[in-house]
């Protein structure tokens, strides 16, 4: 799988937009200057007609590679409450429950 990766340095950190070459999937990752050992992931999305083919898992592997290549020790993300297939999707891929608030579960994976 090939990706188009846009990297943008901003005043508060670095943002990556990772898009599959065919445009069927995308995800955003960012590092805050105040927390350089944590890669925050958001907006993982796969076009509905391309789902159930492993694309999201492939994109997560790309995120993990990005973290390792940049000496980042953990990846964090939020999952909306209540628990759903999305929560289970990340747990099956090695993410662990870290915390929660009224609206979200916070998951983490150490790389």
Say if CB 3 and CB 19 are below 8 A apart.
Answer: yes
Residues 79-99 have a mean pLDDT of 93
Phi, psi of 45 (to 5 degrees): -145, 135
pTM value > 0.85: yes
Helix/strand/coil for 60? helix
What digits encode the pLDDT tens for the residues 16-73? 999 999 999 999 999 999 999 999 999 999 999 889 888 999 999 999 999 999 999 9
Where exactly are the structural domains of the chain? Answer: 3-110
- CATH architecture for residues 3-110: 3-Layer(aba) Sandwich (3.40)
- Residues 43 and 27 sit within 8 Å (Cβ to Cβ): yes
Q: Which of 43, 51, 55 is nearest to 1 (CA)?
A: 55
Three-class SS state of 75: strand
Predicted confidence (pLDDT) per residue in 93-111, tens digit:
999 999 999 999 999 999 9
């Amino acid at each position: 799988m090939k990706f188009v990766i846009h990297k943008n340095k901003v005043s508060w950190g670095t943002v990556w937009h990772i898009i599959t070459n065919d445009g069927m999937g995308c995800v955003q990752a960012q590092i805050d200057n105040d927390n350089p050992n944590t890669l925050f992931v958001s907006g993982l999305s796969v076009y509905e007609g391309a789902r159930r083919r492993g694309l999201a898992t492939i994109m997560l592997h790309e995120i993990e590679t990005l973290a390792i290549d940049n000496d980042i020790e953990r990846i964090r993300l939020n999952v909306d409450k209540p628990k759903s297939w999305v929560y289970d999707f990340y747990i099956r891929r090695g993410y662990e429950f870290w915390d929660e608030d009224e609206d979200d579960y916070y998951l983490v994976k150490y790389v």
